[in-house]
Chains A and B, each alone.
Chain A
Amino acid sequence: MFESLSGRLDSVFKKLRGHGKLTEENIQEAMREVRMALLEADVNFQVVKDFVATVTEKAVGLDVVGSLAPGQQVIKVVHDELVELLGGDTASLVLDGRQPVVIMMVGLQGSGKTTSSGKLAKMLQGKGRKPYLVPADVYRPAAIDQLTILGKSLGVPVHPSTTDQDPVAICKSALHAAKAAGHDTLLIDTAGRLHVDEDLMGELARINSALEPAEILFVADAMTGQDAVTVAEKFNQDLAISGVILTKMDGDARGGAALSIKKVTRRPIKFVGMGEGLDALEPFHPDRVASRILGMGDVLTLIEKAEAVVDKEKAAKLAKKLKKEGFTLEDFLDQIQQIKKMGSLEQIMGMIPGMNKIKQLKNMPKPDERELVKVESVINSMTLKERRNHAIINSSRRQRIAKGSGTSVQDVNKVIKSYTEMLKMMKKMRGQPGGLGAMVGGGKKRKRPKGLTR
């Protein structure tokens, strides 16, 4: 349905090539596209309006350089401006000052306060602090149990609150208990509440003045729409929040709420929640979220993920081996296993620029995880000799392999075919300076006389 912003901008600017400068008139159409992209990403209408005005101002007067397409140029301006708006001051937690330090989590129902509290406790624990979890949600059924269970699994003590207590009283007594037991960080998990609920907002204000937290973290769902502005503004007005945690960023939401919240509160986004596991809390990277808001994929995360699973030593070894023996079916298997380690194919595809949109098409065939399993089992059913030299795999061997792996001969053929194709590709790359060698790390670039390279 939608192309990526860069694609659309390129087509807008096609007619512009060769013009001297970007002017207000000729970028107007481009700005319409930028505006659409931002609105589709759920950036607040008013924020978009201001943003487009700023970017237009910055883009007007830029020279259209021959080498850089005007579309790219505008994207760069837009992207840079987004990063600047999202980032700004670096944001770590303020943990010095009077001990124990109090951190208060606030937000709407279901934004992920309790889970984030657990994640934060784990992170602080890893940094050598002694967190103390305080469940102050006496309204939602079993909210206290939820935090207690999380605390238990983390080995972090949880204040024994009960639902008949007043949240302010709970927090006060928790502070004493923490002091007495020598904990240095209090994490208060407050109940989710609507920003228009004056009673409950008053309760937060009372906790705030009773405990004077060093950090008030506003927990917001990355999927929030236009309303993000209203909610964040109200919480900030009543409580003067110190930072934001953006949750559920592991989904496919473009996360425009991040920009809206940052813009109205002017408070840094300190962390993003990237999953349900208790270690899935990451620092906020403005550049990545900027790309995501623009629908340009998240290449950096993809690269980082790849780096995390690809063993550098193994890669160097592979490079050496490839030079000596060539790429065998065993190496092929290895590659497949590494890809699998990076996560589901769909997730990986989501991070590739442009792919996100393709993925949303209705009839697009989904990458099948089971195919990978099939390939693995086919290769596993081969003898070592066969794996090193695929040429010896004749039809009777194929039949045996198919039987052994529980697949059909066609499947075996398919695997061998995709392997040989990869082999061909590698041979081609080897012919180019900086090709395969540079890719798998190690290996010298061979110099060739000019005429020989293609």
Chain B
Amino acid sequence: MLGWFKKKFESRPEEEQGPGGQTVAEPQAMVANGEAAESSDVDSAPPVAVVAEQLGQPSAPASEFAADNKEPEAGLKFFKRLKERLAKTHDSFVARVDELFLGKKVIDQELFDELEEILIMADLGVGVTREILDRSRAKVKRKELCEPLALKKAIKEQILAYLQQTDRPADLVMPRQGPFVIMVLGVNGVGKTTTIGKLAYKFRQAGQNVLLVAADTFRAAASEQLQIWGQRIGVEVFTRPAGADPSSVVFDGLEYANARNFDVIIVDTAGRLHTQVNLMEELKKIKRVMGKKIENAPHETMLVIDATTGQNGISQARLFNEGVELTGLALTKLDGTAKGGIVVNICHEFNIPIRFIGIGEQMEDLRDFNPQDFIDALFANDHE
């Protein structure tokens, strides 16, 4: 993902800093806010510097230096912040796993029982938990595993295999030409609009020209919410008055985009429960309309899932997938104590890659999902 952003970034340096001019004040205030909110985070300096640099010379392309420098630093910061944000998740989980493994010399039923508890508590679900444990149990029986630490490693690998088995690449794939259309959907209150804001920021940072289409015409003040995000980031937002037909908003939005030169179009849809047949039909229609206006659009149909969701996440993924065929997942609210284990389940069952994770309310709090890092962060400990 980062790599892709970079490639795009280098190939079109002259287009960097498009319509940023009028929104200069906003991002600055925003960054200041962000800093205040995490005053403990000493390392929050780099984004300020980067933004400040861009603000200083709004018309000049960001120098190679800046682009090259950003990569490793961002990477480091990413890992640090990810670890930090996941610390709470990690503490409770890992501390328990360690306690479990360090005190043990042999693998016994008690150990399996406790492992079951840990996996279920992470919302992996009874079925998957059973599957994972049964496999390990079989290995133990065949004497392939005989010490607790090896068992831990085996379980880790098993979860990783579930996360990696999807045959679709976890990177967003751009169409060869024309704008990249992303449709974002999910049940109510999972964080669709916030995720879109962060995603737009990510594209914006990579020098893309982004349009947000506010197709949530149902919930009160939904388009206002998106507009505020647009101002913060400095991207255009296409809106229609509340109560308009969402498909028509999308139609007009894409027409508007066609006449201009946008690289990325992100469509925000109203939150809906997957069991509501009429609303699912509406979603199908929105998708059809996109395809009529721009070839093969939407190129990405992304389901947003809340990390606190339990086994109902399976039902959500199933019904949304049946309705509009999902191509990616975003897992939000991972900065709490919920472990979001349901995505292991979803990945395993539906073969949909996880693209992003949300780890906070600031605009830089959206990360590429990296299964290895993710599991490492969950299991990482100082003794290793």
Considering the complex, give the chain A residue whose CB is closest to the CB of B189. Answer: A110
A228 to B218, CA, bound (A): 28
A137-145, A201-209, A403-411, A423-431: which one contacts chain B?
A137-145
CA distance A45 to B122 in the complex (A): 10
Cα distance A109–B339 when bound, in Å? 16
Please indicate the chain B residues that have their CB under 8 angstroms from the CB of A141 in the complex: 197, 224-225, 228-229, 232
Question: Would you list which residues of chain A between 263 and 279 have a CB under 8 Å from chain B?
Answer: 276
* A41 contacts across to B, CB distance below 8 A: 311
Closest beta carbon of chain B to A437's beta carbon, Å: 35
Q: Contact between B310 and A257 (Cβ–Cβ < 8 Å)?
A: yes
With a cutoff of 8 Å between Cβ atoms, the chain A residues found around residue B361 in the complex are 109, 139-140
Contact of A146 among B219, B275, B310 (CB under 8 A): B219
Pick the residue among B123, B306, B335 that contacts A226 (CB under 8 A). Answer: B123
Within 8 Å of chain A (Cβ to Cβ): is B377? Answer: no
Flag whether A9 is at the interface (Cβ < 8 A). Answer: no
Residues of B within 8 A of A253 (CB): 310, 312, 315
- Closest partner residue, chain A, to B219 (CB atom): A146
Nearest Cβ on chain A to B297's Cβ, whole angstroms = 27
For A248, the chain B residues whose CB sits under 8 A away are: 187-189, 273
Q: Is A42's CB within 8 Å of the partner chain B?
A: yes
Q: Shortest beta-carbon distance, B301 to chain A, in Å?
A: 19
- In Å, the complex CA distance between A40 and B123 comes to 10
- Write the B178-205 contact mask toward A (1 if CB under 8 angstroms, else 0): 0000000001111100100100000000
A42, B310: Cβ atoms closer than 8 Å: yes
Q: Is A440's CB within 8 Å of the partner chain B?
A: no
B123→A344 contact, CB < 8 A: no
Interface digits, A85-126 against B, CB 8 Å rule (1 contact, 0 not)?
000000000000000000000001111100000000000000
Question: Across the interface, do B338 and A227 meet the contact criterion of CB distance under 8 Å?
Answer: yes
A84 at the interface (CB under 8 A from B): no
* Docked complex Cα distance between A295 and B263 (Å): 47
Indicate whether B355 reaches chain A with its CB closer than 8 angstroms: no
Known: A39-B126, A226-B120, A231-B336. A369 touches B309 (CB 8 A): no
Interface centre among A112, A141, A350, by most chain B C-beta atoms within 10 angstroms, is A141
Q: Complex formed: what's the CA distance from A231 to B339 in Å? A: 13
**Count class of interface residues, chain A:** 35 or more
Complex: A346 Cα to B117 Cα, angstroms: 35
Q: Which residue of B lies closest to A192 (CB)?
A: B189
Q: Is A188 among interface residues, defined by CB-CB distance under 8 A?
A: no
Which residues from A are CB-within-8-Å of B310? 42, 223-226, 228, 253, 256-257
A36 at the interface (CB under 8 A from B): yes
Which chain B residues lie closer than 8 Å to A347 at the CB level? 275, 277
B109 within 8 A of A: no
Q: Is the CB of B126 within 8 A of A194?
A: no
Q: Which of A230-252 contact B (CB under 8 A)?
A: 230-231, 248, 250-252
B262-313: which have CB < 8 Å to A? 273-278, 306-313
CA distance A104 to B191 in the complex (A): 23
The answer to the question of A77 belonging to the interface, with a C-beta cut-off of 8 Å to chain B, is no
A373 contacts chain B at the CB level, 8 A cutoff: no
CB atoms of B191 and A142 under 8 A apart: no
Which of B122, B224, B275, B308 is A251 in contact with, Cβ under 8 Å?
B275
Q: Does B212 contact A (CB under 8 A)?
A: no
Are A110's CB and B191's CB within 8 A? yes
| Smallest CB separation, B171 vs chain A (Å) | 27
Binding site for A on B (CB under 8 A): 88, 117, 120-123, 125-127, 187-191, 194, 197, 218-222, 224-225, 227-229, 232, 242, 273-278, 306-313, 315-316, 318, 333, 335-339, 342, 361
Top 9 closest pairs, chain A to chain B, by CB: A225-B310, A110-B189, A42-B310, A141-B228, A145-B221, A142-B225, A149-B220, A146-B221, A142-B224
Extra 5 A-B pairs, beta carbons < 8 Å, given A223-B306, A224-B308, A226-B123:
A42-B312, A109-B189, A143-B225, A230-B338, A231-B308
